[in-house]
Every structure is written in C-alpha cells, then in structure tokens.
Chain A
Amino acid sequence: MFVVLEIGASSIKAKSVDAISSLIKNDLLTLEALVREMELYLTSTDHIIRGRGTLLLAEVLNCLLEKPLDSHTISILVEFFTAKLEDWQVLWGVLVGCLALLKRTKKFGMVDNSDARTLAKSFLINVQVQSLAVRDRKLCLEVLQCLLDAYTDAVVVLLSSCDIWDNFFITGDDLVYGICEAIDEEKDPRCLMLNFHLVEILGHLYPDPSGPMASFAQDIFDILSRYYPIYFTHPKDDGLDIKREDLSKGLMNAFSSSPFFEPFVVPLLLEKLSSSLLSAKLDSLKYLNSCLYHYGGKRMVKHSRVIWSNLKDVIFNFSPERPLLTDELDVDMKSEVNQIRMEALNCLETALSCFDFSEQDSFLCLIIDDPDIGTKLESLTSITSYSGTSAEIQRDLSAIGGIFTSIAKVSIYCCNKVFLKFFPCLMDVLGVSRNHSSQFCITNHKTVHGGMNFGALFLSVELLSSSRELSLVSNIAAEFIAESKSWFFMLKSFSMDLCHVLGSVLRTSNTSMVASEKEGVLCAVKGLQSLSTFPSSCSPISEGCYEDVLEILMSIITGRSDETYLWNLSLKALVQIGLWIESASGHDSARGICYNKVVEKILSMLQTNDSMVSLSLKLVAISEIANVGQYVLSIIRALEDAIISSLVACIQGGLKSSDSLVGLLECYTSRVLPRCCTSGSFDDVAVQFSINIWNQLENVSVFNTDVTMQVMITMKLLVAGCTVENQSLILKKAHCVILSMDFLKTQPFQSIHGIIALSCRDKWIASLFGSVVIALRSQTPLTDMKGILNLFLILLPEGNLPAAQALASMVNKCPSSINEPEISARLSLDQACEDILKLCLWTLESNSHLKQYNFLDRDICSQRSIVLGMAWVGKGLLMRGHEKVTEIAMFLMKCLVSDSNEDITLQQQKENGKGVGMDANSSLATSAADAFHVLLNDSEDCLNKKIALYRALGHIISDTPLAAVLAESKKVDIRNFIIPALLDTLAISGSETSHKKIVYSLLLVLSGILMDDNGKVTILENIHTVIECLIKLISYPDLMIRFPSCELSIGIQKRSLTPTSVRKVCAELSQIVRETAIQCLVAMSVLPHARIFPFRPRVLKAVATALDDRKRAVRQEAVRCRQAWFELTFYTFFVVWFDPSNY
C-alpha cells in the first residue's frame, strides 16, 4: 500500500507521512504493526524500494518525536537502523531514522546508552562521510553531533572505561579520528557549521593532556586552519541563511575550545594579524581575544612579547585622528577601522587580566616601559599648540589614551603602575604641583596663556576617568587609600590644583573656538565631572574643591550663555553630577546640600529678570536639571509660580509677557510634567495647579489676551492625568467659575436663546472649561450635565471649537443607560443627542416658537459653525458606534447638496436682497465637505465603525435624488469627495453579504453618474478604482434573502440603465447587481480609448467568467459587454488615435 504513495510527488509523500504518523499518534496503528506491514519494503532486494521503505519509516519516526514509545520498541528500531548503516544504498533513510531516534527526549522515551554506543560504533565503522553527497553528509554530522551532545556518557565516558573484552569497545582515539575523517575537506557552509561545532564539543570533552584531543590537535588544526580567515562569498539569498559572521564565530569557538591548539593557532593568528586585509585583521583580533581568554595565561605568556608588539602596531595605526570629537563629527562607530581598534584594546585588556600576577607584571612592564610609548609621549607633551598638528600626532595621542584607559581599567595594580609611571610627568607638563594650597588662583600664567598642553590634558583626563570607572567596579579598601604608592593617593595630592587648572581652561576659552580648543574645553569639563563623581568613600577632592567645581560650572550657566558649546557641556556635566549624587549619596549628604544650592540658584534665575540669560535657555537649564528626580517637585513649584504670575500679568493686559507665558507653559507641559508622571507625584501637582489656575481666572475680571491655546493644552494634560476623584474636584471648581460668567449674570441658563455676545473673559472660561470636559475620564461623573450641555449648545453656533469638541467628548463618554434615574441632572445619551440634533433642525415653517432652533434661519457663519460642530459630535458618536451618527451624516449630506434642494431656493429668494445666495450655499457645502473630512478622517482603529458610517453614507447617497448628486459632482471639491466615498462604500459593502441593497442602490447611482457628461469626467479621474470595483462586483455572490418588491421604488427606476432591471424587481438582487455592474462596464467602453484601453485585458477576462454565470440575463449582458470591449482592439485604438477627424 505504500509503494503507490512513495512513488508520488514530494507533496504526496509528505501527506502520506502525515497520515501514517497521525494514525500512530492517535493509537489507531502501532509502530510494530507498521513495521510488520512494511516488512517487504524494508527487506526487498530492490534497493530503490528498500530505500523508499526505510525513508518512509524514518520520516514517520521523525513525526513521532513527541509520541511516547516504550523502550523495547525504541531498542528494536535502533537495532534495525544500526544494522542498516552497513547498507550504503539506503543510507539516506537510515540516517534520517537514526537522527529521529537520537533526537528523542527523555520525557517520551529515548535511546538507551548501550544502544547509542552500538550505533556510534557501527557508524564509525560503516559510514564514509567524505564520500557522501551534501545532504547525507549533513545528516551524518547531525547524527554525530547528537551522539556527542545527548549521549556523552555513552559515547565518551563509557567507551573509555569499558571492559577491554567488551564487544562494543571503541577508544576515544577512534572517535576523534573518525570525526577528523568526517570533517575533512568539507566545503558546504551548513556542514562546516556542524564541523566547527563538533570540534568545539570534542575540545570540551577531552581536556586531558594525555587524551585523544591532545594527540589529534595538530591534525584537527590542519583541517580547520584551511578555512582561516573565513572567506565566504555566498550570495545573500541562497536560502541557507548562513552568514560569514556565523562561520567565523563557529571557527573561533572551535579554535578556542581546547588549549591543545595553542602552539598552532597563536602563530597563525599573529601572522594573519599583520595581513593588510581589514577583515582578516579584525578576525585575528577577535580570535586572539577568545584564545587568550580560553587558553589561559600560562599557555599564552610565552607569546606576550609578540602579542604586545602586534597589538601596538594595530592600536597606533588604527586610532581616530580626533580622539574626543569623534562622536560629534559623527564618525561611523561601526566602521571596520574603529572595530579593529576597539578589538585590539579589548585584547590588551584580556591579556592583562588573564595573566596571573608575575606574568601580568612582566607584560605590564613590557607595555609601559616600551620605548615607543615613551618617545611618543615626550613628543606629544612638548608640543605647545595643537591647533595645526598633523593627523599622525593626533592618532598617537588617541592611541596612547586608549592604551592607558585599557590598562587602568584592568585592576588596581595595573592602575597604580600606569599612574605612577605617567601621571606625575603629565601633571608637570600641565603645571600642576603637588600639595598646593587651596587658594583659588592661577599660578602659572604661562601655561594658560601660552595654550594649555592639550596632549597632557587629554591623557590625564583619560586616566582620571578610567580610574573613576575602576573605583566604581572594585571595592577600594581603606588601607589602600592611605597607601602612598596608590593611584588614589597620587590623584588626591594633585586633585586640588588639577581642578583649578581645569577651571582656568574653561575660564580662558571664548566664543569662537577652533576644533582643538573645543576639545580642550570638552576635556576640562569631562575632567571636572569625573573629579566630582568619584564614589564618596574614595573621592580625591575635598568638599571645598567640590564646591569650587560646582561654582565654576554654575558661573558658566549664569554668565556665559552666549558660548553655546561650553554652556551645553557645563549643563550636561551639572546634570550628571546631580544624577550621581542622587544615586550614590543622597542629597542630604554634604555634597547633596552643596548641590541643592546649585538647583536653587538655577531656579532663582527664573524669577530674576536679568538679561544675561534668555528665558528659553533658562527653561532648557531647568528642564535638564529636572532629570534629577529629587528636584522635580521644587522645579515644578517654581515653574508654577512663574506661570501663574505670568498668566495674571498676561490676562491683565501686558501683551508683552504672552511670549514668555507660552514658553513657560510649553516647558511645563512637554518637558517637566512628563518627569512628574514617572515619579508618581503627578496627581497632587496637577490638581493643585489646575485649581490654582481656575482661582486666578475667577478673581480676574479683565481679559485682554489670547494665549488660550497653550493654557488649554496644559489644562487638558493636567486633567487627563488625574484620578477620577481629583478630576471631580477640578470639575467642581471649574463649574463654580462657569457660573460666574458675565452673560450668566443677567439671565439664567434656561432662558438663554438666540445670539448672545460673549465677553472675552467668557470665551476664555468657556474654552478652558471645554478642555477640562474633553480631558475627563469616562468614569468621572459630570455634575449638572444638562446645564453644561446647554452652555455648549449656546456656544457652538458662535464658532467655539472647544465647545464642539467638548460636546463630542460628552456624547462619546456619556453612559448609555443611567442606573440611578433619580439624578435628573444626568442626561441619558439619547436625550443628549436629541438636544444636540435640535441645532440641525431643518424646517421651512417660520414657526415663531421653533425659530431659535431652525438651522435655515441662522446666518451663514453660525450655519458653518454648526456643520463643523456636528462633524465633531458625529465623530464622538461614531467612535462609540452609536446609530445616531447616521442622522448627523444625513444632516451633513443635506448641507452638501443644499443648493439643488428646493427649500434652499426658497431661502435664496429670501436672501436675494442681500446678494449672498449662491455663495453662501456653496460655502456651506464646502464646510459640509470639510465636516465629512473631520468625520471620516480617522485612524484605522475604528474601521468597523467606519463601515457603519459608509453604510449610512450609502443610504444617503442612494436616497438623494440623482440630479442632486450629479449637480454636486460638478463641483470639484464635492466631486473629489463623493466618488471615492461612493467607491469605498461599494468596496466595503461589497465584501459583506448583508449590504446588497445598498450595493445595488450605489451601483445605480454610479451608473447614473456614468450616463451624465459631467459624471464621465469624474469617473475618468477615478477610472482605475471604478473598474476594479465593477470587476469585483461581476462575481458578486448570490443572495440568500429575497428582495421585497416594494422596496425598489420608482424613484430608483428612473435612473437605472435598462428597463430590464425594472422588470425584475422580484428577481434576485445579487443577479441584478452583477448585471448592473456589467452594464456599467458596457457604458464605460465608450469612454476615451486612451484611458480605458489599458484595462481591456482585465475587463475581458472578468467578463469571460460571467459568460458562465448561472443566470441567463447575466450571461446575455456579459456577451454584450464582451463584444463592446472586444471591439477596442489595437486597430480601433490606432484608428481613433490617428484619425484626423478626431482633432
């Protein structure tokens, strides 16, 4: 029964394997039964059939990895496959089977050790890996890997300790030799990856110096060294998904797996390190690093001299020319050159740290006593001016800096050594003397004015910062601090004066700095920062000195804001120092208190109105300092005070201060407030501040300015972040203020109607209140909802956008059912909607009672405001999926088509005297179109709601008289809206079977547009979409519900294309949809050839399928359509094109 299955294509094979394995999984077939059934195929003398049989069994086993099997079955299977390893003709299947068995986990029953041992032996004896094809080689290597990984005990430990008379005896030598044979001469990258891994495992398995790995190390190295350095040029899309880096890493792991490779690998690496190929250099360094780490210092120490000289060459040749400004110059940090440098320095570090004490010492001496470094350092420190130095000198500088840093980072001992050797002479060059008095003055004018020696400055700052890093990672004992030969002692003795020298560098810099001077400044700031951020237990500087540092930086912040570069650096340094204090010692320590003064000083800048620092810079400084979490609250207080005083000044008429208010608010909302959110104190801050703002508004009676926007944004942010309780508090306060509005003093809420003149203050308060309402959470109860609703309804026609948005937000959040009916102040959603919709009441009767509500009686301005407001309200409803949105959409649509409507003409006559007639209407239509934009322009989140809206739109379009739609589509802006909307609606409804009626109506509208001359222009603009849409509708699926005859009114008949449609009111709707779609396509065939010709093949193909439609009428239409489009041959195309009568 399997022969047939096996002969088939690979997909059939896979399916049959799946079928059999699922039978076994579900216990409908046992493995034994399967094997018994397959006996013929497994033992046939025809090797092809035998091979297929074995493979089938193996693949079935592969699918059963998670099927529990008993040990007996597994044992029998392993025995079978082990025996079959001899049978080279069926090797593929056998290997797959072995692998499937070896991959099994303990949970589902795995191969036992003795079986694994037998298998390994049989494998080593019978399989000649090298001679196999790639596919089989890969499988072989996987089997080996599996054996070594999962059956280590069986293969290695047991084998070596086995009884010598044991039949299964294999030595480790046999195993390693077998693997050597298997991996030799490999070319395929997948197999290579496995090879490298195998060697890696072997390396870990046999660490014994008398073991097989030690004896075979040279052989394995000979096999592997051919691949180094990895040269891999496979195309990227070869489907193997192996990159050069993977191979390189694999080989590196293999090399570093066993220290027995050392005598062979290290010379090779050092040789390749001097290669001119960058990638080989980089690889060598990486390998060397890994080998240093894994082989250990003992083995590597004999190479130390060569390693150092090689590393030295690399570091000096590959260092960047601008050691400090590299970040700013935006050098690609990942460039190969840079990587090489980093790797070389890493290597240096690894070498130092892997040697034990005496080796380390000798290696260190090798480095720091290196005459090259000495001479280079001498030349570097003797240069007086760095402004025009050559690239080589700069490179040397950064190289030596890098070496110093690497050494100092390794250990305290190394750090001591390098400090003792170099620091005093660097200090000498800088003119810093030991044990200087703490007097803050510059002693050596020559050093400063003649240009600070940048080389010495740079190197000492590098040493400083690396020693700081060291002090962070290693515990520094107290006795060490007192020791006179430690780096710490030395640093401490110089620190005071060094600090002052660094300060003087900053002091003397000026606004126009060249790059080298910039570097000097950067170094100095970095030095100061490092000095003041040592752990408190081992800080080299005294409190007084620390204060001096802060003072130096602060003097730059307050006094030298014109030097942007220096100013920014200082600010950053200050922030870093602040963060350090916060994390290390807390701000009640002596240093913390010292730093508090800094913050106070910065905050006091806000109050004083000095012209030294501009407000924007002050705000930058404040927002940066707010990074230090402890000061956020005090910063916020200060900012709030400033904002309130500025706000009051602003409101009372000082237009001058509105700029500063905007700046303050912006800083407050976007930079400081977010920090507050993370620290968790947001609520208190927000409530207090917003109530404070409302208090101010309540007390001030004159309003003179318009910074509403920014205040509103702030208010929204404040309210939105609060909890429900706090929101209620703010709302209560705001409501009180609302009640004090000017126009409410003369008349109460309920009696207000018509147009009211709002004072500036009222507008302010109303907008701000709107922003509060917008930001409320949906759980926050709105007290006096009715009153608020009324208020916004009054404000809406005045063109108050916040009012409209607040209304939208209200209907959006309003609970759909009210649980406590006794609270009459809360309106139900329906009632709220009803109230709102009164605004769009569209009547002609001049009923005096209704007059205030009649949309048509309003002037054009408030009409437009209402339209826009309705769009927002509609959006609010749309987001919650409320059905009332259709009414609003209907209203907007009415406005859109208003000029072709009769009632409007009446109104026009009324307004003829004023001469606004047509203009007014078209602008109303324009704003209605804009309104649709507001309504529809939404994120994809509410797409489902959008479908509902499209449905509504569909209803509207199809219920509007065609003449109106057509007339509308003449206008460019409306046209741009209607057709795409119509097509979108068609596309969306088309995919839903329940929307057939709309689809049909829309299709009729489309056909109407097609019949109209102006309509054709519109269609041509969207021809691609139209045709795609129609083609989709040709295969419109059949309908299950019958279409009631009465629903297709005569109004629709008028605009349908053919009378046949009329006859078929009772017929299947989907059939008519198909038919009409085809008819539309026929109608489109008369459009200009040049535009439609490209679609001919698509249309013909689609229509050809309709020839086979199950309905005769559709078929007939298809024939006609096909004919019409068929005639559009190239021939006619060219005739039309070149016929002179066409021009």
Chain B
Amino acid sequence: MTLGMINANPVVHAKRERIIRSEDIHSDDALDALDVFDSVRDIKDPEHPYSLEQLSVLSEESIAVDEKLGRIKITFTPTVKHCSMATVIGLCLRVKLMQCFPPHFKVDITVSPGSLANEEAVNKQLNDKERVSAALENPSLRQLVDECLYSNELYSY
C-alpha cells in the first residue's frame, strides 16, 4: 500500500486536435485506429484530472486495428516504471472497449515493452477474462473505473 501518489508530478502534453471525419455516403465507415483512439483518449487518469491522452499514456499510433480479423490491440505506456495504477488503466481501457465495440472483436491490452517493472504479470492479468470480470465485480474497483470513464464525459441529456 502506498501512501500518497505514485507519480505526483506527471508531464502533461497538449491534446491533439480532433479530426472531423469526412462523410462518404456510399462506402462503409470501416473501424480504424482513430475510432478506437477517439473512444479511449478521454479516459481520466486514476490519479490526476488529466486524460490518458494528455499524460501521453496512449496515442493513436499505439493502437492497432484489424477489422477483418476482428482484433483490436492497444499498447499503453504508464508514466512511471513502478506505476501500480497500470492495471486500473488497463481495466478502464478494457471496459471502455467492451462498451463501445461489438462483442466479436478480440481486444488485446498490453503495456509497452520495457515501460513497467512487472510488465509480464500485468499483461497476463489484463488479458485474463476471468480476472477481469472478477475485478469488475469488486465494487470499489468498479467505482474507480467508472469514475475514470465518466468523469469528463457529460451527456447532453
């Protein structure tokens, strides 16, 4: 158990400008990395009132999508090497993707190689279905995840 913050003073980056997609009526809008990035960029960091994008935990380049095979692969980079929040961030990402994309997509979430001390264990935990659903049944953890997901998302209704 750590007292205080793990990374009390993170580097904050500027948000990238939102790209407005051009509309093409007749073709299908295929799912691409930007779609995925758009859905996860505004997730709040568990510790700070900044989005994952702002903290440079995620970028469009760190996301790979193959629509034909139905795969989404996200690699994220925790701000510090010993970040214990990495699992929470991963969990947030997974929940968000579950909500936003059809269930037939296989989602792989990994931390970028070398960015975390217990990288292998975290990767294993994040992609273990049973452990994820167990975590989501934990009320306090669920609340934490929900806070991250919805803190700066406001419905207009």
A910 vs B103: C-alpha distance when bound (angstroms)? 65
Task: Determine whether A50 belongs to the interface, using a CB cutoff of 8 Å to chain B.
Answer: no
Question: B39 — nearest CB in chain A belongs to which residue?
Answer: A1119
Say whether B101 contacts A1120, CB under 8 Å.
no
Q: Enumerate A1077-1124 residues with CB–CB distance to B below 8 Å.
A: 1082-1083, 1086, 1104, 1107-1108, 1110-1112, 1115, 1119-1120, 1122-1124
Task: Determine whether B99 belongs to the interface, using a CB cutoff of 8 Å to chain A.
Answer: yes
Stretch at the interface among B22-30, B48-56, B107-115: B22-30
Say whether A1119 contacts B99, CB under 8 Å.
yes
Task: Determine whether B16 belongs to the interface, using a CB cutoff of 8 Å to chain A.
Answer: no
Contact of A1120 among B28, B104, B155 (CB under 8 A): B155
A1068 vs B25: C-alpha distance when bound (angstroms)? 6
Say whether B100 contacts A1107, CB under 8 Å.
yes
Contact of B25 among A1042, A1115, A1122 (CB under 8 A): A1042
Answer whether A1086 and B157 are a contact pair too, CB < 8 Å, given A1107-B101, A1107-B102.
Answer: yes
Say whether A1110 contacts B100, CB under 8 Å.
no
Say whether A1126 contacts B23, CB under 8 Å.
no
Chain B window 57-77, contacts with chain A (Cβ cutoff 8 Å), 1 for yes, 0 for no: 000000000000000000000
Task: Determine whether B47 belongs to the interface, using a CB cutoff of 8 Å to chain A.
Answer: no
Question: How far apart are A1027's CB and chain B's nearest CB, in angstroms?
Answer: 18
Task: Determine whether A1066 belongs to the interface, using a CB cutoff of 8 Å to chain B.
Answer: yes
Say whether B23 contacts A1119, CB under 8 Å.
no
Contact of B35 among A1064, A1112, A1124 (CB under 8 A): A1112
Contact of A1067 among B25, B28, B99, B100 (CB under 8 A): B25
A1067 vs B22: C-alpha distance when bound (angstroms)? 11
A1083 vs B21: C-alpha distance when bound (angstroms)? 26
Say whether A1064 contacts B23, CB under 8 Å.
yes
Say whether B21 contacts A1108, CB under 8 Å.
no
A1104 vs B98: C-alpha distance when bound (angstroms)? 11
Question: B100 — nearest CB in chain A belongs to which residue?
Answer: A1119
Report chain B residues within 8 Å CB of A1120: 155
Chain B window 144-157, contacts with chain A (Cβ cutoff 8 Å), 1 for yes, 0 for no: 00000000000101
Report chain A residues within 8 Å CB of B101: 1107
Report chain B residues within 8 Å CB of A1082: 157
Contact of B103 among A1064, A1086, A1104 (CB under 8 A): A1104
Question: B35 — nearest CB in chain A belongs to which residue?
Answer: A1112
Number of interface residues of B (CB under 8 A): 15
Say whether B29 contacts A1112, CB under 8 Å.
yes
Question: How far apart are A828's CB and chain B's nearest CB, in angstroms?
Answer: 45
A1068 vs B100: C-alpha distance when bound (angstroms)? 23
Question: How far apart are A130's CB and chain B's nearest CB, in angstroms?
Answer: 57
A1068 vs B28: C-alpha distance when bound (angstroms)? 12
A1104 vs B23: C-alpha distance when bound (angstroms)? 23
A890 vs B31: C-alpha distance when bound (angstroms)? 46
Report chain A residues within 8 Å CB of B100: 1107, 1115, 1119
Answer whether A1066 and B25 are a contact pair too, CB < 8 Å, given A1107-B101, A1126-B99.
Answer: yes
Question: How far apart are B136's CB and chain A's nearest CB, in angstroms?
Answer: 13
Report chain B residues within 8 Å CB of A1104: 102-103
Say whether B23 contacts A1122, CB under 8 Å.
no
A1110 vs B102: C-alpha distance when bound (angstroms)? 12
Say whether A1123 contacts B99, CB under 8 Å.
yes
Q: Enumerate B125-153 residues with CB–CB distance to A below 8 Å.
A: none
Question: How far apart are A773's CB and chain B's nearest CB, in angstroms?
Answer: 55
Report chain A residues within 8 Å CB of B102: 1104, 1107-1108
Question: How far apart are B142's CB and chain A's nearest CB, in angstroms?
Answer: 11
Question: How far apart are B127's CB and chain A's nearest CB, in angstroms?
Answer: 21
Report chain B residues within 8 Å CB of A1064: 23
Question: B104 — nearest CB in chain A belongs to which residue?
Answer: A1108
Chain B window 7-36, contacts with chain A (Cβ cutoff 8 Å), 1 for yes, 0 for no: 000000000000001010100110000010
Question: How far apart are B97's CB and chain A's nearest CB, in angstroms?
Answer: 11
Say whether A1067 contacts B23, CB under 8 Å.
yes
A1124 vs B155: C-alpha distance when bound (angstroms)? 9
A1067 vs B23: C-alpha distance when bound (angstroms)? 8
Say whether A1112 contacts B21, CB under 8 Å.
yes
Say whether B157 contacts A1111, CB under 8 Å.
no
Question: A1110 — nearest CB in chain B belongs to which residue?
Answer: B28
Question: How far apart are B24's CB and chain A's nearest CB, in angstroms?
Answer: 10
A1066 vs B157: C-alpha distance when bound (angstroms)? 26
A139 vs B49: C-alpha distance when bound (angstroms)? 81
Report chain A residues within 8 Å CB of B155: 1120, 1124
A1086 vs B23: C-alpha distance when bound (angstroms)? 31
Say whether B157 contacts A1083, CB under 8 Å.
yes
Most buried by A among B21, B25, B100, B155: B25
Report chain B residues within 8 Å CB of A1111: 28-29
25 contacts between A and B (CB under 8 A): A1042-B25, A1066-B25, A1067-B25, A1068-B25, A1082-B157, A1083-B157, A1086-B157, A1104-B103, A1107-B100, A1107-B102, A1108-B102, A1108-B104, A1110-B28, A1110-B29, A1111-B28, A1111-B29, A1112-B21, A1115-B29, A1115-B100, A1119-B39, A1119-B99, A1119-B100, A1120-B155, A1123-B99, A1126-B99
Given contacts A1111-B28, A1124-B157, 19 further A-B contacts (CB under 8 A): A1042-B25, A1066-B25, A1067-B25, A1068-B25, A1082-B157, A1083-B157, A1104-B103, A1107-B100, A1108-B104, A1111-B29, A1112-B21, A1112-B29, A1115-B29, A1115-B100, A1119-B39, A1119-B99, A1122-B99, A1123-B99, A1124-B155
A: which residues have CB within 8 A of B? Answer: 1042, 1064, 1066-1068, 1082-1083, 1086, 1104, 1107-1108, 1110-1112, 1115, 1119-1120, 1122-1124, 1126
B: which residues have CB within 8 A of A? Answer: 21, 23, 25, 28-29, 35, 39, 99-104, 155, 157
